[in-house]
């Protein structure tokens, strides 16, 4: 509801609090006026009763004057024949005020009457007394003005003044409290305005109070931490990608320039094969980059039952330069994309083939509700501090670069992304010899 109003949050909350206080003051003033009006009516009724009783005493003592002095609207005394025998100066010579009399079993009656001939366009509190005389029942009529609904101008002025003061004070206090509460938000906004893509090291100030704003600032700083890490990773990725792409392009350029300088001495067959090798490396890098881009974008793959034993068997049956030993358990079925899982296994086997001395061991088994695939080579292995480095894009250890200069540095990152996309994990675990890659995937339900 507040958001529907224009202006800042501070202005909207101040206006809302002011309106709420104004409505509360109106309701409170109405209750106060109601109570004061009833009190004023009771006081005026007592005044009229007192004046009427005074006239009754005068009648009983036989000391009733013809003209009765009073501060009320009017008094009349009627004898047993219903003839006016005494009245206040305002009603002198007037007929009876009203024909209303007390009930037969009552000596008096009090009620509010409006628009009487003697009091046009107004309401009066009428008190009627029955006096028992020897010649019959006499009547005393006494009328006093009905207090107005607002009781009096001073009462209205007081209530209006108090209400205005309460609204102004509420608006002032609300504005100050909201301004003090939102001050950290302004500081956070100002700091976020200063942060750019080239300066992600800054962080927003964290308020001292342990409230929602502190939690917001901490969350914003955590988000900036992740953003800085992601941007830094992208920068490294772009730098490494440009370096790896530049190498085959530079090699091809050098080869072409060499044969163009001495075309008569060039062996075009050898040059063509060299260019094809560079193009194959360039194509492999581009293909891996596109695969990573699809995985990063969360491109959905096919979902079908995949028997990992059969899939690994198909991959290990291919001709390789190293001996492959397969230990496969049947009916290890997962739900996933067959092509992507095949790519994952191919990348693991290619990596093991490049680093193994003689033998690669591959196993498939069920453990604790997961399908577990292990690829183990008998090479030099990977130090524990480097086991996560090999999963970074374009990251290749020095030993790997010296041993296999043709790798793209993207095979293992692609394998881990495929595992994550299938709700699993891929890690390097301890092994007696070489490097042991362990893939865990959730089993297919049922």
Question: Does residue 211 surpass a pLDDT of 80?
Answer: no
Type and span of the H or E element at 17: helix 9-61
Q: Are strands 119-133 and 136-145 parallel, antiparallel or unpaired?
A: antiparallel
User: What is the rounded CA–CA span in Å between residue 390 and residue 405?
Assistant: 15
Q: Where in the chain is the domain with CATH 1.10.287.130?
A: 197-299
Binned at pLDDT 50, 70 and 90, residue 399 comes out as low
390 and 412 in contact (C-beta within 8 Å)?
yes
Q: Which long-range contacts (CB under 8 A, 24 or more apart) does 208-214 make?
A: 213/181, 213/184, 213/185, 214/184
Question: Does residue 29 surpass a pLDDT of 60?
Answer: yes
Helix or strand or coil: residue 299? Answer: coil
Q: Where in the chain is the domain with CATH 3.30.565.10?
A: 304-442
For domain 11-153, say whether CATH 1.10.287 is its number.
no
Binned at pLDDT 50, 70 and 90, residue 401 comes out as very low
Mean pLDDT of all residues belonging to the chain: 85
The CATH number of 197-299, from 3.30.70.100, 1.10.287.130, 1.10.357.10, 3.40.640.10, is 1.10.287.130
What pTM does this model have? 0.50
By mean pLDDT, which of 148-157, 388-397, 415-424, 425-434 is the weakest?
388-397
362 and 312 in contact (C-beta within 8 Å)?
yes
Smallest CA-to-CA distance from 318 within 355, 291, 346, 299 is with 346
User: What is the rounded CA–CA span in Å between residue 77 and residue 75?
Assistant: 7
Tokens of 134: 């020897």
Helix residue spans in 209-358 (DSSP H): 212-261, 268-296, 308-316, 338-355
State the average pLDDT over residues 241-267: 79
**pLDDT tens digits along 373-386:** 999 999 888 888 88
Q: How many CB atoms lie within 10 A of CB 135?
A: 8
Instruction: Name the CATH topology of 304-442.
Output: Heat Shock Protein 90 (3.30.565)
Q: Where in the chain is the domain with CATH 3.30.450?
A: 11-153
State the average pLDDT over residues 160-181: 92
Binned at pLDDT 50, 70 and 90, residue 240 comes out as low
């Amino acid at each position: 509801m507040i958001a529907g109003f224009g202006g800042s949050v501070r202005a909207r909350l101040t206006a809302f609090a002011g309106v709420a206080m104004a409505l509360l003051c109106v309701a409170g003033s109405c209750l106060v006026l109601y109570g004061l009006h009833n009190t004023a009516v009771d006081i005026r009724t007592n005044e009229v009763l007192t004046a009427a009783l005074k006239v009754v005493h005068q009648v009983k003592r036989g000391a009733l004057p013809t003209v009765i002095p009073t501060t009320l609207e009017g008094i009349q005394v009627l004898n047993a024949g219903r003839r006016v025998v005494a009245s206040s100066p305002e009603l002198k010579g007037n007929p009876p005020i009203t024909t209303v009399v007390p009930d037969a079993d009552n000596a008096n009656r009090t009620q509010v009457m409006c628009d009487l001939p003697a009091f046009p366009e107004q309401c009066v509190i009428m008190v009627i007394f029955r006096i028992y005389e020897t010649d019959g029942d006499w009547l005393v009529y006494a009328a006093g003005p009905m207090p107005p609904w607002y009781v009096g101008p001073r009462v209205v002025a007081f209530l209006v003044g108090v209400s205005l003061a309460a609204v102004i004070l509420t608006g002032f206090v609300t504005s100050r409290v909201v301004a003090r509460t939102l001050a950290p938000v302004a500081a956070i906004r100002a700091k976020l305005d200063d942060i750019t893509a080239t300066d992600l090291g800054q962080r927003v100030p964290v308020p001292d109070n342990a409230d929602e704003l502190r939690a917001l600032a901490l969350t914003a700083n955590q988000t900036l931490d992740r953003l800085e890490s992601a941007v830094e990773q992208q920068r490294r990725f772009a730098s490494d990608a440009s370096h790896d792409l530049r190498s085959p392009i530079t090699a091809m350029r050098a080869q072409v320039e060499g044969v163009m300088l001495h075309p008569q001495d060039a062996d075009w067959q050898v040059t063509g094969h060299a260019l094809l090798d560079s193009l194959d490396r360039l194509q492999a890098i581009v293909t891996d980059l596109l695969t990573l881009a699809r995985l990063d974008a969360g491109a959905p793959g096919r979902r079908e039952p995949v028997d990992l034993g059969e899939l690994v068997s198909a991959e290990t049956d291919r001709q390789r330069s190293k001996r492959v030993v397969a230990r496969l358990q049947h009916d290890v079925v997962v739900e996933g994309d067959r092509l992507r899982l095949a790519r994952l296994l191919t990348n693991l086997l290619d990596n093991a083939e490049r680093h193994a001395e003689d033998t690669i061991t591959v196993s498939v088994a069920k453990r604790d509700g997961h399908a577990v695939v292990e690829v183990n080579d008998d090479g030099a292995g990977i130090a524990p501090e480097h086991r996560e480095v090999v999963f970074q894009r374009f990251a290749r250890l020095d030993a790997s670069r010296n041993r296999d200069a043709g790798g793209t540095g993207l095979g293992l990152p692609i394998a881990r992304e495929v595992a994550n996309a299938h709700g699993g994990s891929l890690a390097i675990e301890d092994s007696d010899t070489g490097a042991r890659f362990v893939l865990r995937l959730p089993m297919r339900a049922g």
